[in-house]
Structure 1
């Protein structure tokens, strides 16, 4: 299920042999989405993993975030949205790290201060 959340929903495909109209060319394989009527039980279980993942994530997300993820169509979209909301973009992460490093570098204990007071 983790793959469905991080990579996106499983798309059930099949390989179809295509024969070109030009008989001088070799037949080739084409991958296309498998029609719903041809999907077997095991593939249907894989397909349902996205719905299950969406349900689980939606159930544990705090109410204040539900309105932001309700418009997402896949578990992967929900995950990406939550990641952006909670962690931020790469630039934001770098800025947070830079600020934390600056605070650490300028962190000093005053002369008349005890360790408890410094904390």
Structure 2
């Protein structure tokens, strides 16, 4: 029986964020006192086709993630053993640690505070620059209200 595509997506994301799946079965030798039964890992010769698919998801996830990278990034990540390690390393490389995120946020706030329309710049280009900075700020967790953004746009316009 084939798993539903949405379930496969959930399983894939689980493997990326939580690590390789363990195939478990109920341990009937232990009495159930409260809640769910005690579980233990299935032996490999007990695996169903679905169990084998789930165990292989870590390899599939790593393969998909590897194929999305350029050579430089791949060289920094290729030693990761699991999709979860890969994902965590990729987040660290792309987003940085807390200090890096703080620095990026400070720079983005400074860009927003200091933005002015350049001489000869079209309104469209000015709007594009502001939108880029706002998107950067949003990605870093800083959100400005529409009123704050409108005031910044107006204040950044030349006096003429």
Regarding TM over 0.5, the answer is yes
| Number of equivalenced pairs | 109
C-alpha RMSD of matched pairs (Å): 2.4
1:23 maps to none
Q: Which runs of 5+ in 1 are unaligned?
A: 20-26
| TM, length-normalised to structure 1 | 0.75
> Per-residue CA shift, 1:28-86, capped at 9, x if unaligned?
54322211111111111111111111111112211112222221111111111111101
- 1:116 correspondence with 2:121: yes
Q: Which runs of 5+ in 2 are unaligned?
A: 1-11, 127-160
CA–CA distance in structure 2, aligned partners of residues 81 and 10 of structure 1: 20
Q: Which runs of at least 4 in structure 1 moved beyond 6 Å after TM superposition? A: none
Structure of greater relative contact order (alpha carbons < 8 Å, 6+ residues apart): 1
| TM, length-normalised to structure 2 | 0.58
The structure whose residues are more often strand, as a share, is 1
The structure whose residues are more often helix, as a share, is 2
- 1:92 correspondence with 2:103: no
CA–CA distance in structure 2, aligned partners of residues 115 and 18 of structure 1: 80
